[in-house]
Amino acid sequence: TQIKQQLGSSEAVSDYTYDAYGNIIKTTLPANSKGQRMWYTYRYEPVMNMYVERIDDAFGYRSEAANFDYRYGMALRRMDLNHFYYETDIDNLGRVKAVRGPNELATGVPYIIAFDYQPKATFGKNGITAPAYAVTKHYDIQHPSDDMETVTFVDGFGRPVQVKKDGVVTTAAKGSAPKDETVMIVSGRNVYDAFGRVAKAYYPVTEAVGNKTTFNKAFDNVSPTVTVYDVLDRAMKVTLPDNAETKTEYSTDAGSNALVTTVTDALGNRQATYTDGSGKTVKTEQLSGPDGTITTSFEYDGIDRLVKVTDTEGNVTTSVYDMGDRRTEVNHPASGITTFTYDALGNVLTKQTANLKKEGKTINYEYDYGRLTAINYPDHPENNVKYHYGGINSSYNRIGRLMLREDGSGAIEYYYGKMGEVLKTVRTLIVPNQAVATYVTQWKYDSHNRLLEMIYPDEEKVTYGYNL
């Protein structure tokens, strides 16, 4: 099967190959400027012949999925491009019970995130006395025996009505020594009106640890945020606890038939937004400017592409697109006309500003399939930029990732962790008339992407500890 998209003087061709079951087994994308066509092949598990167990591409990269639970069509084990595994446990209802990443699989930790579901609510004469809830546990490498927990309660409509989280607060007054207290931070109560809209929203409260699965019925003592709606469920007035009000008015512009939404904030600043029947913004008006109304208008073509913007002083910015919905020209009153060219894959090949056009020059971009590999400037080629990526045999978890960037200032090399986090950079600077300088910076993260350690180029080490 082949799909052709007309781009004016050229076309973008995509090819698809299917197996006897109707599954796509190969996708070939349009060619880039070098004639390279990115492709992906898909291999399906042999039992049901409907779930992808392996994907290969033109770079030689591959990812895999295995241990399928055919009841729910879920792969319980996956391998990424750098050959690290991720595992998922599910229950008999197809709900995720636990997730393990490369760090947990290497150390034997049972999970990085785990879920406990308690879907049965308790009812009394006046309704629900104990809502259904679920507990989310986040394993904490700094406190292995004390998970970071979140408890979510839901009502009969499935709406979250309360969320409790492990937290640490300080009760110390300003200027005194800090005094930390471990608590559960409880989300503020919401009061719904007869139509299921949040009419009152209270601030969060705290409670002592030990009652995490018990619904907290307490309301904060501070006045709630009150929202008033119109008959179309649109917020008309929002009153904050300090009585600051934000008002919203809705009307129709007689000339354009646009919906006008006028917002007045607590300081009396007013802004009107005009939207058409498709929901696109066609005009904005700042009605409280010191020099009067500031108006910006927007125009679109028949397929909803922004083609013209006019500011309050009448300055016009226009855009031109090709048949592939790619912007080929921008005419700005300050910078002039900037043009772009593309290959069939959609990669930007050249950029020409108004100044470069006078000299017949362009900024050129090079790609390996769809991956940017170089930026070449018409003047001062020493400022050109090159990008190098990890191949299938790259070390330091660089497969498929940016490995080295070179530019006029020098180069920067990247080293990655098991989950794709940057662990080290080696920055080489070319200082004119001086020796080349090299700076090494290192980081260490946990599985939640929290920074644990940083080593500066001068070997100063900073460690981070978390009280949860």
Instruction: Print pLDDT tens along the chain (468 aa).
Output: 999 999 988 999 999 999 999 999 999 999 999 999 999 999 999 999 999 999 999 999 999 999 999 999 999 999 999 999 999 999 999 999 999 999 999 999 999 999 999 999 888 888 788 999 999 999 999 999 999 999 999 988 888 999 999 998 886 666 566 678 899 999 999 999 999 999 999 999 999 999 999 999 999 999 999 999 999 999 999 999 999 999 999 999 998 999 999 999 999 999 999 999 999 999 999 998 788 899 999 999 999 999 999 999 999 999 999 999 999 999 999 999 999 999 999 999 999 999 999 999 999 999 999 999 999 999 999 999 999 999 999 999 999 999 999 999 999 999 999 999 999 999 999 888 888 999 999 999 999 999 999 999 999 999 999 987
State the pTM of this model.
0.90
Read off the DSSP letter of residue 357: H
HSE of 158 in the Cβ direction (CA atoms, 13 Å)?
0
CATH 2.40.128 in the chain, residue ranges: 380-468
- Compute how many other C-beta atoms are within 10 angstroms of the C-beta atom of residue 457: 14
Burial class (CB in 10 A: 0-12, 13-18, 19+), 462: exposed
- Quote the tokens at residue 300: 């679109």
Q: What is the pLDDT of residue 293?
A: 94
Sign of CA dihedral 169, 173, 174, 176: negative
Q: How far is CA 210 from CA 139, 164, 182, 301, in A?
A: 18, 12, 11, 60
Determine the Cα–Cα distance for residues 28 and 6; give it in Å rounded to an integer: 17
Q: What is the pLDDT of residue 290?
A: 82
Contact 448, 435 (CB under 8 A): no
Give the position of tokens 């800090």.
178
For residue 283, how many other CB atoms are within 10 A of its CB? Answer: 19
3-class DSSP state of 37: strand
Distance of alpha carbon 391 from alpha carbon 277, whole angstroms: 50
Per-residue pLDDT, 434: 84
Instruction: List the beta strands (DSSP E) in 51-156.
Output: 52-57, 62-69, 74-79, 85-90, 96-100, 113-118, 122-124, 127-130, 132-138, 148-154
Neighbours of 206 (CB within 10 A): 15
Count the helix, strand and coil residues of the chain and give each as a percent rounded to the nearest 5: 5, 50, 45
Which position has the token pair 């998922």? 88
pLDDT of residue 238: 98
Q: Which position has the token pair 């699989």? A: 105
Which among 85, 81, 82 is positioned nearest to 66, based on CA atoms? 85
Pick the CATH number of 380-468 from 3.90.1200, 1.10.10, 2.40.128, 2.20.28: 2.40.128
